[in-house]
Amino acid sequence: MGPPPVAGAVAVNFVPSGGGADVQASGGPVKQPPPQADRAMLHRTEHTRTYPCAACGGQLQFDIASQKLRCPNCGNYSEIEAPRAPVAARDLRAAIGELRALQATTAGPEVTGNHEIKCQNCGGTTSFVGSLTATRCPYCATPIQRDDVHNAPARLPVDGVVPFRIDEKNARVLVEKWVSGRWFAPSEFKKYKRLGSFASVYHAYFTYNADTYTWYQGEQGIEYTETYRDSDGDLQTVTRVRWYPVQGEVVNQFVDVPVLANEHTDRERIKTLEPWPIQDATTYSPEYVAGHLARTYDRDAEESLPEARSEMENEIEHTVRRDIGGDQQRIHSLNSTWNSLAYKHVLLPIWLLTVIYLDRPFNVYINGLTGEVSGERPWSKIKIAIAVTLAVLLVVVIVVLYMKFGHHSTGHGSTTTVHHSTHRR
């Protein structure tokens, strides 16, 4: 149960590893008006929000099952006030110019009232709205210290969010299924409830839109086959390619190419949670984050761009190859013009299970929209040894039976080898 509400104050509750000390920080209005259309570019003057329950004064949280705000104390529901609206993209160059100018004129972090926890162990920075409900870092399960909370530095604002759709109950079922399906996972790992942390964490993404025009020069290869008899008189087939010079132009349109903006995370594993239904994103409101964690970005929109750009360049190359056509393609030169480059800063929902095993954190990620699970699993040496022993025993038994009951002769089949080689000339 939460502490009694204090009018005009923001309650920030910490539960350090040892016990349940409550700390109250004051400052900031209890309730913000809904976001206005012409919101300031950067959250310079914003205060930490809480959403008090009209019935009992407790702090409302975003309830995934109902997609409403719900009071954990009395069960009272409250509608989300922010209107559901599509997210507008921002021009990359303009936004980065503004951010850099602000960073240059500001010494040290901005006092925004936005609270962040920086984990002293893994360096992950997470922000929260209202009460901090987590007691451990969601990434490494290190207990969160009171000192780890600090005010947020100047950042690009969050433009959109796709709210969690999979609630804790369903996420636990999914993770349970995943863990029990790992045959070699040690039994300690399976008892994750006693060891780990299980948290709903919005992750920071930048998604990019771009229009490109590309001019290319290359060659189209048409394959043909020749047959001949080799020195042994066997029939052989060779594939050869005839090349024709080509040139042309292609146009690509990219919409919402996502890049995870967080470092010190298992990027490859999180990448396998794609695709994300980013088209379902709605204009950001902190209401969706209330009661959950939100990882703040480590790389801004400019620093995250190279990853998106290389994905787009791959796609452009595919388009050029399709345009060249034929059986094979050669690209000699490729010139792209980037006509527009826009981004959105979007929060995407991930359930994160962290288990400490042999002094090492193991993370399992669940896409909070599709339920896709991707995780690391510790392999038990004992279980592997048992499995290997059983396999060896099985082979021994088969060999013994074979020797005891004689052998069946297997007919000698003839094999025809077809030589099939490709000459690129």
Residue 182 one-letter amino acid: R
- The site for Zn ion, by CB under 5 A, has a size of 16
Report if residue 137 touches Zn ion, rule: CB under 5 A.
Answer: yes
Report if residue 134 touches Zn ion, rule: CB under 5 A.
Answer: no
100 Ramachandran zone, left/alpha/beta (phi>0; psi -120 to 50): alpha
Report if residue 284 touches Zn ion, rule: CB under 5 A.
Answer: no
Q: Which is nearer to Zn ion, 49 or 321 (CB)?
A: 49
Q: Which is nearer to Zn ion, 124 or 218 (CB)?
A: 124
CA distance 13 to 25: 9
CA distance 344 to 283: 10
Q: What is the DSSP letter of 105?
A: H
Report if residue 352 touches Zn ion, rule: CB under 5 A.
Answer: no
Buried b (16+ CB within 10 A) or exposed e, 340-372: ebbbbbbbbbbbbbbbbbeeebbbbbbbbbeeb
Q: Which is nearer to Zn ion, 71 or 278 (CB)?
A: 71
Place of tokens 């509608």: 79
Q: Which is nearer to Zn ion, 142 or 329 (CB)?
A: 142
CA distance 298 to 203: 11
| Min CB(144)–Zn ion separation in Å | 9
CA distance 98 to 223: 54
Cis peptide bond upstream of 275, omega within 30: yes
Q: Which is nearer to Zn ion, 54 or 251 (CB)?
A: 54
Stretch that binds Zn ion, among 118-126, 177-185, 269-277, 377-385 (CB under 5 A): 118-126
Stretch that binds Zn ion, among 32-40, 141-149, 236-244, 326-334 (CB under 5 A): 141-149
Query: Is the Cβ–Cβ distance between 226 and 423 less than 8 Å?
Result: no
Report if residue 122 touches Zn ion, rule: CB under 5 A.
Answer: yes
Residues 46-85 that bind Zn ion (CB under 5 A): 53, 55-56, 58, 71, 73-74, 76
Report if residue 139 touches Zn ion, rule: CB under 5 A.
Answer: yes
CA distance 201 to 365: 10
Query: Is the Cβ–Cβ distance between 171 and 368 less than 8 Å?
Result: yes
Query: Is the Cβ–Cβ distance between 9 and 24 less than 8 Å?
Result: yes
Q: Which is nearer to Zn ion, 69 or 373 (CB)?
A: 69
| Min CB(68)–Zn ion separation in Å | 13
| Min CB(49)–Zn ion separation in Å | 17
Q: Which is nearer to Zn ion, 199 or 250 (CB)?
A: 199
| Min CB(188)–Zn ion separation in Å | 21
| Min CB(360)–Zn ion separation in Å | 13
Report if residue 140 touches Zn ion, rule: CB under 5 A.
Answer: yes
Closest CA to 295 of 203, 413, 424: 203
Residues that bind Zn ion (CB under 5 A): 53, 55-56, 58, 71, 73-74, 76, 119, 121-122, 124, 137, 139-140, 142
